[in-house]
Amino acid sequence: MQETEIALLESSFSEVFKVRDDAAALFYERLFIHDPSLKPMFAKADLRDQGKKLMMALALVVGALRKLDTVVPALRGLAVKHNGYGVRDEHYATVGAALLETLSLFFGARFSPELHAAWAKAYGTVSAVMIEAAHEQPRPMAAAS
């Protein structure tokens, strides 16, 4: 990533992190609007807890933008865990869309094309690593009806 993109991501995320609980709640609201079929994956989860995990994962990535290779093992592990929950490739695109929409709603007019592009690029990089790792794992079998 370019230094200008990294600077945009760091400064914008520091604002989001200040209101992380509200930002995470907005993210899950947008996620379930984008794809209501994902809601059952979270049926047993405390969404406040999930929101904290989401924000910590974003903090990990944003904090390592200059050395992304250091977080690849954690991302790969996260992908394997999500694979076990039944996450499929197309869910990564849905999550990305919900994330970008959340950021757009949060920043309003300040969500410039450059800021949008930086977040899209960062998420694209992260999701590519996770999808690749998920493909290396066996998929859970669907329950028989």
| pLDDT value of position 145 | 40
* Alpha helices (runs of H) in the chain, residue ranges in sequence order: 3-18, 20-34, 47-63, 72-84, 89-107, 113-135
- Architecture in CATH for domain 3-135: Orthogonal Bundle (1.10)
Checking if the pLDDT of 124 tops 60, the result is yes
CB of 13 within 8 A of CB of 59?
A: yes
Checking if the pLDDT of 138 tops 90, the result is no
Checking if the pLDDT of 10 tops 80, the result is yes
Checking if the pLDDT of 38 tops 80, the result is yes
> How far is 127 from 20, CA to CA, in rounded Å?
21
Domain ranges in the chain? 3-135
| pLDDT value of position 140 | 56
Show contacts of 13-20: CB within 8 Å, 24+ apart.
13/58, 13/59, 13/62, 15/106, 15/107, 16/55, 16/58, 16/103, 16/106, 17/55, 17/59, 19/106, 20/51, 20/52, 20/55
Mean pLDDT, the chain, as a whole number? 93
| pLDDT value of position 21 | 97
| pLDDT value of position 143 | 45
Which percentage of the chain shows pLDDT scores above 70? Answer: 94
Checking if the pLDDT of 110 tops 70, the result is yes
Condensed to tens digits (0 to 9), the pLDDT of residues 94-103 reads 999 999 999 9
